Amino acid sequence: MENNENIHTDQLQDLIQVLTERIEVYTNAVSSVDPDKDVDLIAFFEKSMQLSQQFKSELVVILPKEGLSPSEKQWTPGELYHKWEKRDPCIHASGREQVLESCEKMEEIIQDIFKQILSSKNNFSENTIAILKSQAALQQEIYELIKDLKRKTAT
């Protein structure tokens, strides 16, 4: 049985991988909408990519403080990543409405991942917990914005 320290560093490594793939999903979303009609949506996706990259960079810096250097151990998918992968967050859509639907689904998966990380008993430092909570709140804002954009598109 894994000890608690391994579980929490595995969670961070899974989250880093999820963020890497989240960036890819938003990159695909940008190429799946009309560049002339969906300028606002493209700007939103690009901002979401940038925020994901910043958070990913923060986590890479935090990882050694939580007990694991990124080069120390090769990442192997853990429970959180399997949850992500199982729900297939990739964009298989085209057009504004379908892309927003896929992004909403993706952000729901990420919400579940944050809830699981923050509700589990772990050994994260207070600083790491504060960063995770801050990012969870930001992720919630992104999710709400996507829902709003989706509602506006449907009307």
Summarised one tens digit per residue, pLDDT across range 25-64 is: 999 999 999 999 999 999 999 999 999 999 999 998 888 8
Report pLDDT digits (tens) over 101-112: 999 999 999 999
For residues 90 and 109, give the distance between their C-alpha atoms in angstroms, rounded to a whole number. 11
* The pLDDT of residue 3: 43
- Residue 125's domain comprises 4-154
Tell me how many degrees the CA angle 46-71-109 measures, rounded to the nearest 5. Answer: 40
pLDDT for residue 55: 95
Rounded mean pLDDT, 109-138: 90
Q: How confident is the model at residue 87 (pLDDT cuts 50, 70, 90)?
A: confident
* Sequence-distant (≥ 6) Cβ neighbours of residue 30 within 8 angstroms: 42, 45, 46
pTM of the full structure: 0.86
Q: What is the CATH number of the domain that holds 41?
A: 1.20.1260.10
Q: Between residues 96 and 123, which one has the greater pLDDT?
A: 96
Report angle CA 140, 143, 148 to the nearest 5 degrees.
125
**125's tokens:** 């430092």
